[in-house]
Amino acid sequence: MALSNVLEAPAAGFNFENSSRNAALQAGLEGQTPRPMKTGTTIAGVVFKDGVVLGADTRATSSEVVADKMCSKIHYMAPNIYGRKPRVVMAVNILQDLLYRYRGQIGASLILGGVDCTGSHLYTVGPYGSVDKKPYLAMGSGNLAAMGIMEDGFRPDLELDQAKQLVRSAIQAGILNDLGSGHNIDLCVITDRGVDYIRPYQESQYKDHSQILRSP
């Protein structure tokens, strides 16, 4: 049912269904529009000799507040279709169509990786539906530090251990240079033999030692 909703073609022409809702929200806010919340993250991925390695930090932020220290940012996309396995580009096309339809209102920047009958693939999907295919990628508020590590360490035909260490180092660089990224590092290894989701791959060295002080 959920998949059919995603694949449903949008109605032709302009859509004004939200006009009444927007007018009611504006009247209730008394002229004060809500302030957008800044979020942060570091995600990365690399194509290696036998598949794809994805990585992400586990900190979820809402402006200056750390909302969750153990957020899962690597998500399972789809089961096998009856008859044959889906191709990675099919999932990319669905995400691209959905994000383009909302013209950036969803605000999601995605990395999608997978292995199918045509090989190993790694895509970035922007908030407006733009798509790019690369052998290594980094996105999020910590992407500049992460991309520097990826550019320096990437080599064609990386072995599995080399690819895992490269993605780990990229996420770690994002954590150390971006306040919106932090805590543990998760990795996901995808090959034609299956998926290995390692959560956590590396635990944070900064432990929470909170204490409650009581007056005598």
Give the residue numbers marked as catalytic: 41
Please report, for residues 64, 77, 79, 104, 125, the alpha-carbon distance to residue 166 in angstroms, rounded to integers and kept in the order given: 29, 24, 28, 31, 22
Q: In degrees rounded to 5, what are phi and psi of residue 146? A: -65, -40
What is the Cα–Cα distance from 124 to 133, expressed in whole angstroms?
6
**Residue closest to 185 by CA, chosen among 161, 158, 205, 162:** 205
**Residue closest to 134 by CA, chosen among 40, 44, 41:** 44
- Exposure of 155 in the CB half-sphere (CA atoms within 13 A): 10
